[in-house]
Amino acid sequence: MASARITVMNNGSLRVEGDFEIVDQEGRTFGLAGRSRVSLCRCGQSATKPFCDSAHKTCGFQSAVVAFDLAPPAPKPSA
Ligand code: FES
């Protein structure tokens, strides 16, 4: 399993760094040209989704985030 760190950037992207791979829904791998750090779009305005192209800087995207704990997952219905 890959080891990666994802940092939620205030008013911007998700920065992914470490040992990771990014695949599409069919499992095809995005070529990262040797990068060990990429930024993924969180604002929805990038022309190069899923990667950030800095459009968040001009589209007015605002999302300042402080880490928090998720609630436990809902129990799965028994079969
Ligand atoms: S977060 Fe950077 S373009 Fe969307």
Residues in the chain: 79
| CA–centroid distance, residue 74 to ligand 1 (Å) | 31
Averaged pLDDT, 50-59: 98
Whether the Cβ atoms of residue 43 and residue 28 lie closer than 8 Å to each other: no
Averaged pLDDT, 2-14: 94
Q: Which residues contact 57 (CB under 8 A, 6 or more apart)?
A: 12
| Banded pLDDT at 49 (limits 50, 70, 90) | very high
Average pLDDT over the chain, rounded to an integer? 95
Ligand 1 lined by 54 (C-beta under 6 Å): yes
Q: Could you tell me what percent of the chain has a pLDDT over 70? A: 96
* Residue among 54, 40, 48, 55 nearest 6 (CA): 40
CA distances 47 to 1, 30, 43, 65, 73, Å, are 30, 16, 11, 24, 34
Give yes or no for residue 2 having a pLDDT over 80: no
Averaged pLDDT, 58-73: 97
